[in-house]
Amino acid sequence: MSDYLIKALDKTKNLRLLTITAKDLVQEAQTRQDTWSASSAVLGRTLIAGVLLAGAELSDKEELTLRLLGDGPVGATVVTAQSNLTVKGYVKNPHIALPSKKAGHIDVKSAVGSGWLQVTKDLGLKEPYTGEVPIVSGEIAEDVAYYLTKSEQIPSAVGLSVFVNPNNTIGEAGGFILQALPGASDSLIDQTINRINELPALSTSFLAGMTPEDLARKILGTDCKILTKDEVAFKCDCSRKKYTELLRTLKSSELKAMITEDHGAELTCNFCSQQYQFTQEQLQNILDQKLN
């Protein structure tokens, strides 16, 4: 298991922590969408945030979608994570690289810009629930913490890290979400936040081989209790059937245009770049079924 998420509690059981290593997952997204450094950092951090939130908040067959709607060059970023800790996501503009703020530090804030962070949860109820906060930082971790604190009233600290190699492959990726449970005292929270503030840069530590368990002990103390360890992965749930359904929802005139003008259709999944080809005959079948 190379990518995984762990859940841990501090010894007083008033702080809950999730930590994750996700290099392969972010690498798969990078490869599928051919993202450049700034796009990889934005997409990777949002993917990690999605899995962490799914681990923290979802149960059986639920899903959540993060939409980072900034006015920066990367454009909208959309990530959907499932309760089984699989995740998919894309950025509107994959080919964004920006000058480093300092050596090896990607300017994620400028890549994201200002706008809104939306979190939609589909908990199997009639209507999915959406919470929204302004993008307060653009570094994504602080924005997710702000969302949790403001919109869900859960005092939280979040760290997200993606290191992009000079050849655009992913060197490391990981992060954490710390949540204060109702019994947590101010002194316990302060002490823990101090420990987080004193941590070296996450990317440096992950590159040096830090595991999610190591990170949990650094944040919660060596006497923390690790509860679960689960595999995480990039996974898209698209299928030919799904795209056939989508075509069926088009107006007959649009389908006719695809048949007579384009002589077929090629649809590409935003999330995983899988292509689905439909021939003229296949489109005609869909149109016939629609008209009957």
Q: Which is nearer to Zn ion, 81 or 224 (CB)?
A: 81
Q: Which is nearer to Zn ion, 247 or 269 (CB)?
A: 269
Least separation in angstroms between CB 146 and Zn ion: 30
Q: Which is nearer to Zn ion, 32 or 121 (CB)?
A: 32
Q: Which is nearer to Zn ion, 65 or 161 (CB)?
A: 65
Beta carbons within 10 angstroms of residue 248's beta carbon: 12
Q: Tell whether residue 269 is a contact of Zn ion (CB under 5 A).
A: yes
Q: Tell whether residue 97 is a contact of Zn ion (CB under 5 A).
A: no
Q: Which is nearer to Zn ion, 20 or 238 (CB)?
A: 238
With beta carbons less than 8 A apart as the criterion, state whether 216 and 9 touch: no
Sign of CA dihedral 43, 49, 54, 57: negative
What CA–CA distance (Å, rounded) separates 133 from 151? 7
Stretch that binds Zn ion, among 209-217, 242-250, 265-273, 283-291 (CB under 5 A): 265-273
Least separation in angstroms between CB 240 and Zn ion: 11
Least separation in angstroms between CB 52 and Zn ion: 22
What is the DSSP annotation of 188-230? HHHHHHHHHHHSPPHHHHHHTT--HHHHHHHHH-TT-EEEEEE
Q: Which is nearer to Zn ion, 3 or 28 (CB)?
A: 28
Q: Tell whether residue 147 is a contact of Zn ion (CB under 5 A).
A: no
Q: Tell whether residue 271 is a contact of Zn ion (CB under 5 A).
A: yes
Contacting residue, 272, 283, 286, 287, with Zn ion by CB under 5 A? 272
Stretch that binds Zn ion, among 49-57, 69-77, 147-155, 268-276 (CB under 5 A): 268-276
What CA–CA distance (Å, rounded) separates 77 from 116? 11
Least separation in angstroms between CB 38 and Zn ion: 23
Q: Which residue has the tokens 């979400």?
A: 177
What CA–CA distance (Å, rounded) separates 221 from 242? 47
What CA–CA distance (Å, rounded) separates 149 from 128? 20
Least separation in angstroms between CB 89 and Zn ion: 11
The alpha carbon of 261 is separated from its chain's Cα centroid by a whole number of angstroms, namely 38
Binding mask 228-247 for Zn ion (x = CB under 5 A): --------x-x---------
Least separation in angstroms between CB 120 and Zn ion: 19
Q: Tell whether residue 178 is a contact of Zn ion (CB under 5 A).
A: no
Site for Zn ion, residues 54 to 73, rule: CB under 5 A = none
Q: Are β-strands 233-234 and 86-91 bridged in parallel, bridged antiparallel, or unpaired?
A: parallel
Q: Which residue has the tokens 């994750």?
A: 20
Least separation in angstroms between CB 239 and Zn ion: 8
What CA–CA distance (Å, rounded) separates 130 from 186? 30
What CA–CA distance (Å, rounded) separates 184 from 121? 26
What is the DSSP annotation of 40-55? HHHHHHHHHHHHHHHH
Q: Are β-strands 233-234 and 115-122 bridged in parallel, bridged antiparallel, or unpaired?
A: unpaired
Which residues of the shown chain bind Zn ion in the complex (CB under 5 A)?
Answer: 236, 238, 269, 271-272, 274
